[in-house]
Amino acid sequence: MKNSYLHYLWKKLRPTLIFALLVSFFSIYLQAASIQCEWTGIEKIVAVGDLHGDYKNFIRILRGTKIIDRELRWNGGKTHLVQIGDIMDRGPEAREIFELLMRLENEAEEVGGKVHVLLGNHEEMNISGIAFDYQGYVTVEQFISFLPDKYKQRKEKDFAKKEQKKALQSSGSGSLSSKDLLVYWREIRDDARQRRNHPARKQYTYNFNKTYGKWLLDRNVVIKINDMIFVHGGISEEFSTWNLKDINNLARRELDAFRQAIVFSTPLQSRVRRIVYEPSGPLWYRDLALRGADFTETVDKILTNLKAKNMIIAHTPRKITNMDDMRRFNGRIWIIDTGIGDAYGGNLSALIINSGEFDVWPPKLRKK
């Protein structure tokens, strides 16, 4: 009787459920298709490289380039700010950076400016849940910051009870310090690194994806402003023949498959991936940063295919003493990963493009 009723119910509801799923699918598809990735007529651009969780150094750059004021509010007018990816990992404050950029996006729009947050390979690794597999990527502070509040409170309450019990047995005070908690969470983080099905690892990845991963998938992998391409790793000759919107939408679909599998606990469908974790893909490609003069002809082909004069990339840290160290291939390629995060030396920089002229902040990096 019960089974026959369920069968009847399924027959009644099936058309509605299928329709709802189709509407959901097409609304997501249409939203992705409508996300802009090219702009023209922009007078001023400020581009910032890999941050790796260094909120304080990012604030110094934004203040130094007058993008924000003393109260951390948008002060850039119609400027386009481009953060070129790798907000996450190796540093403690990725969440603070996300929250700041989310707010600045809205404030910039109100006055005709724009904040572009591009995806880097470290955002990709956190969305897909494998950042834990690499030593030193997920710092304990970042780990704690993306855990759900209820989970943190429950774990810390249990830990406090155990510690108080131990302390009473040894006639101690039983009070907990922030240092004790940091040690406790570091141990959990280290355990989570060893097992992909560790509960804390699942909680971290699920909670990150629920808010920040979802938000990131509405951002782009590659954009074009005026006649300049901005992308985290670089565009290879293969991808230079693609339409930019196609690159962004395919990356979005591939990454969303990972996010949905984690958020909704569904199996990840095995399929050929063309962008996610692809060495020649826009998040990982390094030839533009590493190849020598013999690669000049390929660089020219890539930019010709893209109908662009310059490409601004990051991903490969570059020690610089002046802005010429950021230029490659006669200034057609600019590398803006200068090791901004303290984990890489804290070498602050920003590329400023004003009416097509390239400049750099801080001024001491200008060629003398």
Does some domain include residue 282? yes
**Residues 113 and 10 grouped into a single domain:** no
Domain that holds residue 339: 39-133+200-365
**Residues 27 and 44 grouped into a single domain:** no
**Residues 1 and 125 grouped into a single domain:** no
Better pLDDT: 162 or 73: 73
Whether the model pTM is above 0.75 = yes
Residues 88-145 have pLDDT tens digits of 999 999 999 999 999 999 999 999 999 999 999 999 999 999 999 999 999 999 999 9
Say which residue the tokens 């002809």 belong to.
297
* CATH number of the CATH domain containing 303: 3.60.21.10
Output the DSSP codes for 285-340.
--HHHH--GGGHHHHHHHHHHHT-SEEEE-SS----SSGGGGEETTTTEEE-----
Does some domain include residue 153? no
In the chain, how many domains are there?
2
Confidence of residue 264 (pLDDT cuts 50, 70, 90): confident
Does some domain include residue 179? no
- What count of other Cβ atoms lies within 10 Å of the Cβ of residue 357? 7
**Residues 212 and 233 grouped into a single domain:** yes
**Residues 105 and 51 grouped into a single domain:** yes
> Does residue 278 register a pLDDT over 90?
yes
**Residues 11 and 56 grouped into a single domain:** no
Residue 2: per-residue pLDDT: 46
Q: Is the peptide bond before 199 cis (omega within 30 degrees of 0)?
A: no
